[in-house]
Amino acid sequence: MTAKRSSPISTAILLVGAGYCLLPVLWVLIASSKSGTELFSTFTFAPSTHLFGNLADLTQYRGGLFWRWMANTALYAGAGGLLSTIVSAAAGYGLAKYSFAGKQGIFNVLLAGVLVPSVVLAVPQYLLLAKLGLTNTYWAVLLPSIISPYGIYLARIYAAAAVPDDVVEAARTDGAGDFRIFRSIASPLMAPGLVTVFLFQFVAIWNNFLLPYIMLGDDKLFPLTVGLSGLLNQGASQPSLYTSVITGSLLSILPLLALFLTLQRYWKVDLAAGAVKT
């Protein structure tokens, strides 16, 4: 049983990596316990006692606007992630389990969406949504977040790997329609993979900045990223609200941290499943 012997070097390298990744997060934790003056005057990693004061300040900012941002972000990421997962699952299943004219072409075009950076799309998207009168509404952020080339790509891989053809054929022989097979047979089989797609898109929307930044004028609709950036960029004649930004950053990471911890086993992102499972 030599393999069970632990290797201090391997463990040490892993811990160094973990330390590197935790360093800035640890810093936010400590910095959010400091008062505005201490932030710029005491040793960076010296904690202080103002965490609750900072939380209270942040909560009081414009009548609890921060928590509104938190709820908005949850809405954008939750609803957007969910709809995106459904759309991706259907598309991925269609691509993986059917052969039809134009299949490869459609897939290539959908995937090419990855190539176009969001900075490029932001203004045309704004101009088009403005024609529908949807800018500065929840829809302006929600609708463009639903389409995810990555999500479709992953869903196609999961459908190919998790839904055996003979199961589909058997159901069809029993007289089940295409949609019922997808809903009752394929979706449950794909479920663990779809949770990953959901998480993937949830995080992407949670972290999105530019789209909501362009689309929204009303700060009651802001997600966290845009709201916090506003606290930081107050213009030259106003001091930046550093303590509130830092405390807010900490709070904005916590929900994702909780999500990671509870759904850790779904973080299996198999980008090339077909190639290994022969």
DSSP code at position 3: G
Taking the C-alpha atoms of residue 241 and residue 37, their distance in angstroms, rounded to an integer, is 12
Can you read off the two tokens belonging to residue 130? 């403005």
Give the residue with the Cβ less far from other proteins, 52 or 191.
191
The contact pattern for other proteins, residues 90-129, with x = CB under 8 A and - = no contact, is xx-xxxxxxxx--xx-xxxxxxxxxxxx-xxx-xxxxxx-
Among the listed residues 248, 242, 233, the one whose alpha carbon sits nearest the alpha carbon of residue 68? 248
Q: Which long-range contacts (CB under 8 A, 24 or more apart) does 7-12 make?
A: none
- CA 6 vs CA 15, 16, 70: distances in Å: 14, 17, 43
Give the residue with the Cβ less far from other proteins, 56 or 119.
119
To the nearest whole angstrom, how small is the minimum distance from the Cβ of residue 52 to other proteins?
Answer: 19
60 contacts other proteins (rule: CB under 8 A): no
Size of site (CB under 8 A) for other proteins: 155
To the nearest whole angstrom, how small is the minimum distance from the Cβ of residue 267 to other proteins?
Answer: 5
To the nearest whole angstrom, how small is the minimum distance from the Cβ of residue 92 to other proteins?
Answer: 9
87 contacts other proteins (rule: CB under 8 A): yes
Grouping H, G, I as helix, E, B as strand and the rest as coil, residue 121 is: helix
To the nearest whole angstrom, how small is the minimum distance from the Cβ of residue 87 to other proteins?
Answer: 5
209 contacts other proteins (rule: CB under 8 A): yes
